[in-house]
Amino acid sequence: MTLIDRLYRRIADAGHVCLGLDTDISYLPDQLKKDNACDALFHFNREIIDATLDTAAVYKVQIAYYESLGLRGLNAYMKTLGYLREKNAIVIADVKRGDIAKTAEMYAKAHFTGDFEADFITLNPFMGMDTLEPFFPYLDAGEKGLFALVATSNPGACDIEGIIASDGESVSDKTGAMIKEKGVRFTGDCGYSLIGAVVGCTNKVQTKQIRSRLDGVFFLIPGYGAQGGKAEDMAGYLDKNANGGVVNSSRGILLAYKKPEYSGLGFAEAARAETVRMRDEILSAVKGKEV
Amino acid sequence: MTLIDRLYRRIADAGHVCLGLDTDISYLPDQLKKDNACDALFHFNREIIDATLDTAAVYKVQIAYYESLGLRGLNAYMKTLGYLREKNAIVIADVKRGDIAKTAEMYAKAHFTGDFEADFITLNPFMGMDTLEPFFPYLDAGEKGLFALVATSNPGACDIEGIIASDGESVSDKTGAMIKEKGVRFTGDCGYSLIGAVVGCTNKVQTKQIRSRLDGVFFLIPGYGAQGGKAEDMAGYLDKNANGGVVNSSRGILLAYKKPEYSGLGFAEAARAETVRMRDEILSAVKGKEV
């Protein structure tokens, strides 16, 4: 069983929530701020993880938040990844690296081994498909996977991803097709490849098209909650078995303890409650979906 | 005087060499390998820097090589950047980050302040021009700058950068035009902007076009030496004052001590000799160039 089969089973059991540990110091409750900042960050993450291990399908750790604090921040990043691995959780390191040849080999070593080892990493494919290849030895072993940026939902996504080629396809369309082709050899028993795609919420027509065009490509879907994405939008990205994608929420979960509906709960309990609510909301939307 | 004016003057004084500290442990001579790996990396970099401060225009540090060694590697990265700043050298951190909104703010904080502070950083603009904006407050102060990927020279560059839009322009062409427009407000007295572009060697016709289309955009040019680029190709990227670009060489300089022509020299002396040779070769090519 490869990593993608493990993720597929996990979703069938636990739902679709990808819990984003994009932890900013300012998110921490006052009682944690007494520690030094980087110990407090890890402490906060650890409690969130402990409270959500059975309700989050997978965790995504955004390295930028830790990198912004320098070496001590990256120490908290390392400890967070290590703790997740210790708990046998599936971890996506959101690093969006992208470089060529030997430099890409170095990024593969950095994020698939050693201090910063994760299960999946996100990649930026702008420089071309050869930037993915140095990661393939790790995928060949079935133990690591990639999510390449294909279609993001930020306002500027139209600038480059949205450029329309002479044949009528967008840069996102073409990137998706290339990612799919590259991933075929890494297809697991579940029918999905170890090379997935990051696809953000756009609109329902595009969503339906992207799911059918990119069959076999697992989706990492940002944009839920704080960024305005709704459960019914997310359901469109899933297949007839309601699988094939995970939906990320970061601030919506990490800051749940500040919402009126969770008043009286500690930050970890509120994060759990919000994860359960989000999981169930997506599961309901999936049930209500036309297949 | 902003950072780009400082770089412009530096090139007029010192030539066009961007010395790439993409330092891999395997590059180190045996006598350094007795230290622990990360101390040895910094030791190697420090001696190269000391030997080339008057002959290299600027240094580029590729973070992937350090990231691959985890926290201890990033400690060597931090010390290398710190040493370069102490020596008043201009430093480009080759990090190729690219993300949106708050995540991009975090990357700006990570690489323009604190442990990993550099003067310029490289960015990957795939997700759109809004990914650049969180860096602008640092550019407004005139003290920091960016190089965005525009046209790279790896075999896979055709995959996405080379897609031809319905109006006949490539993704690289369009990206270059957007970068240029974004950069206008950051133009220094020298006529160049604090937002530069990474442009790799392609062919002479394209080179001449890209220089004239992107007037005011400073170029970071990889591909010299180990990657096959020649001095006369590089000269095409420069303006009528033989300015407006720096040419990177990494392995060609770091591993100069293994070349027969430098036998008998230590690694730092050989790096200096190769930097001088490369500088003079480019200066000769520039003199011989039709303007």
Q: Per-residue pLDDT tens for A89-109?
A: 999 999 999 999 999 999 999
**β-strand partners of B18:** B58, B248
User: Which whole number is the average pLDDT over B93-98?
Assistant: 98
Would you give the DSSP letter of residue A160?
A: H
B234 pLDDT band, cuts 50/70/90, is: confident
CA–CA separation, B197 and B214 (whole Å): 9
Nearest-CA distance from B204 to chain A in Å? 21
**pLDDT of B291 higher than 50:** no
Q: Is B27 on the interface with A (CB under 8 A)?
A: no
Whether A43 and A35 have beta carbons less than 8 Å apart is answered as yes
pLDDT (0 to 100) of residue A230 = 86
**pLDDT of B235 higher than 90:** no
Q: How far is CA A238 from CA A217, A231, A281, B206, B268, in A?
A: 11, 11, 14, 44, 57
Q: Is A96 in Cβ contact with B97 (below 8 Å)?
A: yes
H helix intervals, chain B: 3-14, 37-52, 63-67, 70-86, 101-112, 136-140, 157-160, 171-183, 204-213, 231-235, 251-254, 267-287
Report which of A118, A112, A94 is spatially closest to residue A220, judged by C-alpha positions.
A94
Task: Give the pair of three-digit tokens for residue B116.
Answer: 């990993």
User: Which member of B34, B60, B96, B180 is catalytic?
Assistant: B96
User: Which whole number is the average pLDDT over A223-250?
Assistant: 88
Q: How far is CA A268 from CA A6, A43, A124, B177, in A?
A: 26, 11, 32, 47
Nearest-CA distance from A241 to chain B in Å? 31
**All residues at 6 or more sequence positions from B82 whose CB lies less than 8 Å from its CB, including other chains:** none
Conformation bin of residue A142: beta by default, left when phi > 0, alpha when psi is -120 to 50: left
**pLDDT of B187 higher than 90:** yes
Secondary structure of residue A270 in the 3-state scheme: helix
For chain A, the average pLDDT equals: 94
B289 pLDDT band, cuts 50/70/90, is: low
* DSSP H or E stretch at residue B145: strand B145-151
| Nearest beta carbon to residue A110 from set B64, B111, B159 | B64
Q: Is A129 on the interface with B (CB under 8 A)?
A: yes
B126, B138, B255: best to mutate for the A interface, most A CBs within 10 A:
B126
B111 pLDDT band, cuts 50/70/90, is: very high
pLDDT (0 to 100) of residue B225 = 77
Q: Is A126 on the interface with B (CB under 8 A)?
A: yes
Dihedral sign for Cα B147, B152, B153, B156, please: positive
Whether A75 and A83 have beta carbons less than 8 Å apart is answered as no
Catalytically active residues of A are 96
CA–CA separation, A83 and A64 (whole Å): 19
User: Which whole number is the average pLDDT over A221-248?
Assistant: 88
A18 pLDDT band, cuts 50/70/90, is: very high
**pLDDT of A284 higher than 90:** yes
Lowest mean pLDDT segment, chosen from A182-191, A229-238, B12-21, B141-150: A229-238
**pLDDT of B290 higher than 80:** no
ipTM of model over 0.85: yes
B62, B68, B102: best to mutate for the A interface, most A CBs within 10 A:
B68
Q: Is A152 in Cβ contact with B71 (below 8 Å)?
A: no
Helix, strand, coil tally for chain B in percent (to 5): 50, 15, 30
Which tops the pLDDT comparison, B132 or B228?
A: B132
A209 pLDDT band, cuts 50/70/90, is: confident
Residue bearing tokens 């993001």: A152
B114-117: which pairs have CB atoms within 8 A and are 24 or more residues apart? B114/A68, B114/A69, B114/A70, B115/A70, B115/A71, B115/B78, B116/A67, B116/A70, B116/B63, B116/B74, B116/B77, B116/B78, B116/B81, B117/B81, B117/B85
Contact list in A for residue B148 (CB cut-off 8 A) is: none
A291 pLDDT band, cuts 50/70/90, is: very low
Nearest 5°: phi and psi at A290?
A: -70, 135
pTM score of the predicted model: 0.97
**All residues at 6 or more sequence positions from A81 whose CB lies less than 8 Å from its CB, including other chains:** A61, A91, A93, A116, A117, A118
Dihedral sign for Cα B145, B280, B216, A156, please: negative
Q: Per-residue pLDDT tens for B18-57?
A: 999 999 999 999 999 887 989 999 999 999 999 999 999 9
Q: Per-residue pLDDT tens for B149-165?
A: 999 989 999 999 999 99
CA–CA separation, A239 and A215 (whole Å): 9
Single-letter amino acid code for the residue at A236? G
Nearest-CA distance from B50 to chain A in Å? 25
Q: Is A68 in Cβ contact with B110 (below 8 Å)?
A: yes
List A residues 143-182 in contact with B (Cβ-Cβ < 8 A): 149, 152, 154-161, 163-166, 168, 171, 174-175, 178
Nearest 5°: phi and psi at B196?
A: -100, -175
Q: Is A141 on the interface with B (CB under 8 A)?
A: no
Nearest 5°: phi and psi at A84?
A: -65, -40
For chain B, the average pLDDT equals: 94
Contact list in B for residue A159 (CB cut-off 8 A) is: 125, 128-130, 178
**All residues at 6 or more sequence positions from A2 whose CB lies less than 8 Å from its CB, including other chains:** A142, A143, A186, A188, A189, A194
Q: Is B129 in Cβ contact with A124 (below 8 Å)?
A: no
Whether B253 and B271 have beta carbons less than 8 Å apart is answered as yes
Nearest-CA distance from B161 to chain A in Å? 7
**All residues at 6 or more sequence positions from A94 whose CB lies less than 8 Å from its CB, including other chains:** A20, A22, A60, A61, A62, A63, A121, A122
CA–CA separation, B63 and A47 (whole Å): 31
- Residue B158: exposed, middle, or buried by beta-carbon count in 10 A (0-12, 13-18, 19+)? middle
Among this protein's residues, is B96 annotated catalytic? yes
Nearest-CA distance from B222 to chain A in Å? 12
Secondary structure of residue B229 in the 3-state scheme: strand
**pLDDT of A289 higher than 70:** no
| Nearest beta carbon to residue A70 from set B102, B114, B160 | B114
% of chain A beyond a pLDDT of 70? 96
Per-residue H/E/C for A32-67: HCCCCHHHHHHHHHHHHHHHHCCCCCEEEEEHHHHH
Contact list in B for residue A104 (CB cut-off 8 A) is: 64
Q: Is B161 in Cβ contact with A164 (below 8 Å)?
A: no
Would you give the DSSP letter of residue B267?
A: H
List A residues 54-113 in contact with B (Cβ-Cβ < 8 A): 62, 64-65, 67-71, 74-75, 78, 96-104, 106-107, 109-111
CA–CA separation, B51 and B253 (whole Å): 12
% of chain B beyond a pLDDT of 90? 86
Q: Is A250 on the interface with B (CB under 8 A)?
A: no
CA–CA separation, A119 and A7 (whole Å): 10
Nearest 5°: phi and psi at A210?
A: -70, -35
Nearest-CA distance from A287 to chain B in Å? 32
| Nearest beta carbon to residue B174 from set A67, A130, A163 | A163
CA–CA separation, B255 and B164 (whole Å): 38
User: Which whole number is the average pLDDT over B53-77?
Assistant: 98
A25, A60, A67, A178: best to mutate for the B interface, most B CBs within 10 A:
A67
pLDDT (0 to 100) of residue A204 = 60
Q: How far is CA A76 from CA A48, A62, A68, A207, in A?
A: 14, 12, 12, 36
